[in-house]
Structure 1
Amino acid sequence: MKATWEKIEKNLGVLEVEVEAERVSVALDKAFLKVAKKANVPGFRKGKVPRPIFEARYGVESLYQDAIDILLPEVYGEAIDQVEIFPVDRPEVDVEQFGKGETFKFKAKVTVKPEVQLGDYKGIEVPAQNLEVSDEELSQELERLQQRHAELVVLDEEAAQNGDTVVIDFDGSVDGVPFEGGKAERYSLELGSNTFIPGFEEQVVGLATGDFKDVTVTFPEAYQVAELANKEAVFAVKVHEIKRKQLPALDDEFAKDVSEFDTLEEYKEDLKKQLLARKEKEGLSVREGIVVDKVGDNAEVEIPEAMVQSEVQNMVRDFDNRLHSQGMNLEMFLNFSGQTIEDLQEQMKGDAQKRVRNNLVLEAIAKAEGIVATEEEINKEVADMAVAYKRSAEDILNILAANGSLNSLNEDVTLRKTIQFLIENSKEVPAEQAEAAKTEESAE
């Protein structure tokens, strides 16, 4: 097989391939075995028609498309390895020659991974961070824990406030006509959670147990259900019950209930250590983000739209998985938020572009610095996964191999090592100095 590659634009080129006639013949044999199973030829059972009779009746040309479909993916993969390119989108293939006894010639217009021109990536300045835990932060954490362990107490006479949970019936209609999904009984709604149509929860605030009210709202213009978009709806609401959080007292008993400590003071000391550890972890994450973004901005790279769209799809899929873990799904989210899938994809596009850019730059830095994942590091990663999933390391390796994910694991480890390299070679400066430099860059 012969393959040549010619770049015609920055990230676009033409791959020309010529495949031996012998391989064309093999592909035609495979195509015949495939189509002969369904061929209806009088006097022969399906799958039993001789090749010469089949070709005499239908023509050898009837096998060409199936043979191309069999051969093309195989030789395309070999060709891109031979010319050492990395496609990032489906190729546009133009078959120039294919026939019995002939070579197979085709051209493919291919979008490839872009080249990166690195800028400065060592000595990146990052603002110093405050890694102390203030009394206010400790109080806020204690309040959050109080909220988590609060009890819902039923109110008999008081009116509903933001933060209360109301148990309601509602029956919605547009122009007097009920609509699907607009009715529920004894539904628990936390006021101020913004889970209902804008304006609904605010009108329930102030109602008391047993109250009735017609709540009038307008569906968002971009509402998922097109026939309801921008329509005014009226919900007949009845309040059955109002529940309010009752916070536990901050005392030694609270400490015993939520921790292994006997006194509140002991618990507060331990909580302060936990907050400090969290701050340090978050601080490292912030520093990594700043360094990676600056290094990405310093580099020059032209990103193909196909790579951005692919990353958007990955982000949507990850978002859907997170929703499932919370008992929701993408369709429910879109319905509640009044968005379309196109709206969501458009919102993600900027972050997707940044991710693609930064990953390409990190990959280029790893190559420039000779950063690679060692066998020992890969084995440790597999061992950690084995512990997390309660499987043997051999099982994890087999699963990764079956899913084609071993290379991705290698790339992930290399990526993390590259970020660590950048952090070790960055420079911490006072926050005021970093802010001044940022302002100066913006002015330029």
Structure 2
Amino acid sequence: MKISVRNLEPTKAKLTITVDKEEFEPYLEEARKEIAKQITVPGFRKGHVPGKIVDQRVGFGAVAGEAINNAVPKFYEEALGEKNIKPMDRPEIEVVDVPESADDDTKLKFTATVERRPDFELPALDDVTIAVEKTEVSDEDVDRRLNVLQQRFATLVGVDRPAAKGDFVNIDLDAVIDGESVDSQEGVSYELGSGTMLDGIDEALEGLSAGEETSFESTLEAGEHEGEKALVKVKVNSVKAEELPELDDEFAQEASEFDTLDELKEDIRKAAAADAKGRQATAARDAFVAYLEENIEVPVPKGIKANMVEQQLKNSGQDPETISAEEKKDVEEQVEKDLRNQIVLDQLAETMNVQVSQNEVFQFIASIAQQYGMDPNMFIQAIIKNGQIGSAVEEVARSKGMVAGMRKVSFTVDGEPLDLSDFLGSEEAEEALDEDESVAAAAAAAAVADDLAATDESAEDAEDAE
């Protein structure tokens, strides 16, 4: 196989791959065997038709087409490995030359144009010290958390005064269009100032007391007349204010397992300190990535960036045609930052020789499934079906590469060493893992998918038997 590479851009390459006849021949033979299983030729058993007869029966072009479908992806993967090209997207394949008969000496030739990871070297990690800003827990942090807990135990008490922001009102609503009532609701509870109902309702309700009513114009947000302007009549049935419990020992006993308010505050301070420690680790991570990117130029693939921007706008419900230039620029900058981080972390994982284990992939998939409230096994099936297992493996590798890289450097806060062992773990712990677990994550996930598929087939067979 002969491979030539032309770099169209720093992140885009065009490979021209020429396959020798003897390399392509096994694929032709395999194609003939597969086709022989599907055709009937008098005098021959199905699946035992000689290759020459298959060529005559279906035409060499059909045989070559089947062979190309199987051969091109494999030769493409080999070419990527040989030329050390890391693709970031699917290639655009074009078959240039193909033999027209079994005796034709024309070599299979095709091109593959693909957006790739740019070539660059990461800065050194040994003997590097990175300073991180200190995160502290203040009395205000503790008070803020205590107030949140206090609000959970608040009660609503009726008040004989006009409604104000933060009050809870019980109201009746009637939407009128052209003098006709189109929607009405009674006994609706609403927190004034929350902005969770119709536009204009906060301004209309503020200052009203129980028994009073008013009207305002608004656009209906649901129902048969969604999007239409309406005159909304509103009547206040009651006004209630939130009454907070006293912050004392009695409150501590009701809201927690502690006997005194001081003990509760101390526990809250410990929780705030743990969160601050987590923020400190996040700050260290961000500083580490910033260090990696500081002295290198990392271009991003234009095509991938454009597709990601379009997808992000679509996911957020924004129209690429009507979005303002400033809003689009913000999205583009964020996408470019995310892409650059991804490229750097992929290179880091490779540099650190990261190996992804079966268990790590399962844990990653299970954590995502939990976030979406899905069964992990069903989620595995879904990502396999959608061809997303590679993305899961990459995410695990990036995370491991980040941890491995951060272990190589030293972090300081105010000139003092920062201990991140709670977040980074230890190399010894990873080395103690059974080597058998360090298998290809994609293969592991595929095996699980096969087991699940077999289970489904068994269930279907059992149902058929019934």
TM-score bucket of the superposed structures, by smaller chain:
0.5 to 0.7
SS at match of 1:214: strand
CA contact 1:27–1:71 (8 Å) conserved in 2: no
Equivalent position of 2:145 in the other structure: 141
Equivalent position of 1:350 in the other structure: 333
CA contact 1:311–1:356 (8 Å) conserved in 2: no
- Partner Cα distance (1:186, 1:252) in 2: 37
Pick aligned residue for 1:274 from 248, 266, 271: 271
- Partner Cα distance (1:57, 1:185) in 2: 78
Equivalent position of 1:441 in the other structure: none
1:318-397 equivalence runs, <5 A: 339=318, 348-365=331-348, 371-373=352-354
Is 1:201 matched with 2:202? Answer: yes
- Partner Cα distance (1:77, 1:256) in 2: 65
Q: 1:138 Cα deviation (Å)?
A: 2.4
Q: Deviations over 1:92-127 (max 9, x none)?
A: 222112344354321111211112355687444443
SS at match of 1:6: strand
Structure 2 counterpart of 1:150, one-letter code: A
Structure 2 counterpart of 1:272, one-letter code: R
Structure 2 counterpart of 1:75, one-letter code: F
- Cα 1:418–1:254 shift into 2, 3 Å: same
- Cα 1:16–1:218 shift into 2, 3 Å: same
Q: With the length of structure 1 as denominator, give the TM-score of the two structures.
A: 0.66
- Partner Cα distance (1:167, 1:341) in 2: 42
Name structure 2 gaps, 5 residues minimum: 371-375, 417-466
Structure 1 counterpart of 2:298, one-letter code: V
Equivalent position of 1:321 in the other structure: none
- Partner Cα distance (2:184, 2:75) in 1: 58
Q: Which segment drifts farther, 257-266 or 236-245?
A: 236-245
SS at match of 2:112: strand
1:36-435 equivalence runs, <5 A: 61=61, 68-98=68-98, 99-101=100-102, 103-116=107-120, 118=122, 122-127=128-133, 129=134, 131-134=136-139, 136-153=140-157, 155=158, 157-170=160-173, 172=175, 186-196=187-197, 198-217=199-218, 233-308=230-305, 339=318, 348-365=331-348, 371-373=352-354, 403=389, 405-406=392-393, 408-422=395-409, 424-425=410-411, 428=414
Q: 1:301 Cα deviation (Å)?
A: 1.0
Structure 1 counterpart of 2:352, one-letter code: I
Q: Which segment drifts farther, 256-265 or 346-355?
A: 346-355
CA contact 2:132–2:283 (8 Å) conserved in 1: no
Structure 2 counterpart of 1:358, one-letter code: N
Structure 2 counterpart of 1:213, one-letter code: T
- Partner Cα distance (2:188, 2:363) in 1: 43
Equivalent position of 2:457 in the other structure: none
- Partner Cα distance (2:57, 2:175) in 1: 66
Q: Which segment drifts farther, 258-267 or 25-34?
A: 25-34
- Partner Cα distance (1:3, 1:65) in 2: 21
SS at match of 2:9: coil
CA contact 2:13–2:115 (8 Å) conserved in 1: yes
CA contact 1:292–1:419 (8 Å) conserved in 2: no
Is 1:25 matched with 2:28? Answer: yes
Q: 1:173 Cα deviation (Å)?
A: 6.8
Structure 1 counterpart of 2:167, one-letter code: D
- Partner Cα distance (2:294, 2:177) in 1: 51
CA contact 1:123–1:427 (8 Å) conserved in 2: no
Structure 1 counterpart of 2:244, one-letter code: L
- Partner Cα distance (1:68, 1:243) in 2: 75
Provide the identity percentage: 28
SS at match of 2:163: coil
RMSD of aligned alpha carbons: 5.0
Q: Which segment drifts farther, 265-274 or 167-176?
A: 167-176
- Partner Cα distance (1:381, 1:62) in 2: 44
- Partner Cα distance (1:65, 1:228) in 2: 55
- Cα 1:372–1:28 shift into 2, 3 Å: closer
SS at match of 2:17: strand
CA contact 1:161–1:205 (8 Å) conserved in 2: yes
Structure 1 counterpart of 2:196, one-letter code: T
- Cα 1:173–1:385 shift into 2, 3 Å: same
SS at match of 1:15: strand
Q: 1:248 Cα deviation (Å)?
A: 1.6
- Partner Cα distance (1:207, 1:152) in 2: 18
Q: Deviations over 1:374-405 (max 9, x none)?
A: 78xx5885797799899xxxx99xx7997454
Q: Deviations over 1:227-262 (max 9, x none)?
A: 988x75543444455443221211111101122111
Structure 1 counterpart of 2:406, one-letter code: I
Q: 1:302 Cα deviation (Å)?
A: 0.7
- Partner Cα distance (2:52, 2:222) in 1: 58
SS at match of 1:8: strand
CA contact 2:345–2:402 (8 Å) conserved in 1: yes
- Cα 1:363–1:69 shift into 2, 3 Å: closer
- Partner Cα distance (1:252, 1:70) in 2: 74
- Partner Cα distance (1:381, 1:280) in 2: 24
CA contact 1:27–1:68 (8 Å) conserved in 2: no
Q: With the length of structure 2 as denominator, give the TM-score of the two structures.
A: 0.63
- Cα 1:409–1:292 shift into 2, 3 Å: closer
